[in-house]
């Protein structure tokens, strides 16, 4: 089967089942069944891996060129970087956001109070749940998000990483070069999230100027920057588990800065999450730096 035909099959299979799952989740979210929404979103993350399997009639390296080995000896430094870098970038982005908009900060976790009360959890007059201050609960969530959270999420994130970084980006690189592939793959990844952004306010909330087109465009910018970072670490490590761990880590910590707002906002285009314009500055800067480096390395290889 020609590479072009396989790629078309991959794209169809990566989008259609995932969008069906996203719409199933959206419908259930509107009906108050949040757990079904979360489950559908989690399952949809395996769809790009399924698409690779269908398009290539298997997922072995011989068929897909995906590097499945961990290569512990070569990557012993990269695993902790993949584990903790997203948390560092998220915290830095949140700090920038609250420095610009200090009136939004509440170390007593006002937004967490709203979230818990909406979920039916009783918060007493002192801002405690079963005697535990909400600020402490926020710290507990942060600790869990930077300790075991990335590892748990890795085994879900690998579904996307095998598709986007393991298969799609390398194929596009053969056809249009590294620069075009990194940008186009990021845009494709962002558009893949379009249904939940448009109909469920995923990542950016609701009632903002330019909704929902602006949200989709911003998501494409975020996924392009993050995709560049993940592709860089995939190329350097030659292991799909490094970007999967990093992807899992960003999923674990991304929403935590919202807990430290005075109240849960209608939208969060600016931040404090790493997908926002201000909250995402550290990741965007890193993405630009690595993009330039990867393009230079490609030119050097071409000269040789």
Question: 128 forms bridges with which residues in the sheet?
Answer: 133
Among candidates 116, 114, 94, which has minimal Cα distance to 105? Answer: 94
Residue 32 lies in a domain: no
Sign of CA dihedral 47, 48, 53, 54: positive
CB 224 within 8 Å of CB 291: no
Segments of the chain with pLDDT less than 50: none
Element (H, E) at 194: helix 194-200
**pLDDT per position as a tens digit, 181-215:** 999 999 999 999 999 999 999 889 888 888 899 99
Among candidates 202, 230, 256, which has minimal Cα distance to 93? Answer: 256
CB 189 within 8 Å of CB 229: no
Spatial CB neighbours of 68, under 8 Å, sequence gap ≥ 6: 61, 239, 240, 241
Residue 277 lies in a domain: yes
Q: Say how far apart CA 137 and CA 132 lie, in whole Å.
A: 7
Token duo for residue 19:
């969008």
Residue 31 lies in a domain: no
Residue 131 pLDDT:
62
Residue 232 lies in a domain: yes
**Alpha-carbon separation of residue 73 from 168, 235, 262, 274, 275 (angstroms):** 27, 16, 46, 31, 33
Residue 213 lies in a domain: yes
Token duo for residue 285:
């800067």
Token duo for residue 44:
């949809």
Token duo for residue 235:
């190329």
Residue 121 pLDDT:
62
Residue 52 lies in a domain: no
Residue 215 lies in a domain: yes
Assign 132 to helix, strand or coil.
strand
Residue 37 lies in a domain: no
CB 88 within 8 Å of CB 202: no
Long-range contacts (CB closer than 8 Å, 24 or more residues apart) made by 33-42: 37/200, 41/196, 42/156
**What's the domain count of the chain?**
1
Q: Which residues of 209-236 are buried (b: 16+ CB within 10 A; e: fewer)?
A: eebbeebbebbbbbbbbbbbbbbbbbbe
Query: Distance from first CA to last CA of the chain, Å, rounded?
Result: 32
Q: Could you tell me how far CA 26 lies from the centroid of its own chain?
A: 19
**Residue numbers of the domain that contains 265:** 63-303
Residue 107 pLDDT:
81
**Alpha-carbon separation of residue 1 from 7, 48, 53, 60, 97 (angstroms):** 10, 19, 14, 16, 50
**pLDDT per position as a tens digit, 216-229:** 999 999 999 999 99
């Amino acid at each position: 089967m020609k590479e072009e035909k396989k790629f078309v099959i991959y794209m169809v299979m990566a989008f259609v089942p995932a969008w069906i799952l996203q719409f199933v989740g959206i419908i259930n979210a509107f009906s108050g069944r949040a757990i079904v929404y979360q489950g559908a979103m989690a399952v949809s993350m395996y769809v790009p891996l399924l698409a690779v399997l269908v398009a290539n009639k298997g997922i072995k390296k011989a068929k897909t060129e995906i590097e499945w080995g961990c290569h512990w000896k070569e990557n012993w430094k990269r695993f902790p970087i993949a584990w903790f870098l997203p948390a560092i970038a998220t915290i830095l982005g949140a700090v920038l956001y609250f420095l610009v908009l200090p009136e939004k900060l509440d170390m007593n976790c006002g937004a967490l109070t709203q979230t818990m009360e909406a979920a039916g959890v009783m918060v007493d007059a002192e801002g405690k749940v079963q005697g535990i201050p909400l600020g402490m609960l926020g710290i507990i969530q942060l600790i869990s998000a930077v300790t075991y959270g990335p590892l748990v999420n890795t085994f879900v994130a690998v579904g996307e990483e095998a598709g986007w970084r393991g298969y799609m980006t390398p194929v596009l690189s053969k056809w249009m070069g590294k620069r075009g592939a990194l940008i186009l793959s990021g845009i494709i990844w962002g558009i893949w999230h379009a249904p939940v952004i448009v109909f469920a306010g995923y990542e950016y909330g609701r009632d903002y100027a330019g909704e929902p087109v602006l949200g989709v465009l911003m998501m494409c910018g975020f996924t392009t920057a993050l995709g560049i970072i993940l592709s860089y670490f995939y190329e350097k490590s030659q292991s799909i588990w490094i970007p999967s761990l990093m992807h899992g880590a960003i999923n674990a910590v991304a929403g935590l800065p919202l807990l430290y707002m005075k109240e849960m906002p209608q939208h969060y285009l600016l931040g404090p999450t790493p997908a926002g314009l201000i909250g995402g500055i550290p990741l965007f800067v890193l993405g630009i730096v690595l993009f330039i480096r990867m393009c230079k390395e490609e030119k050097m290889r071409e000269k040789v």
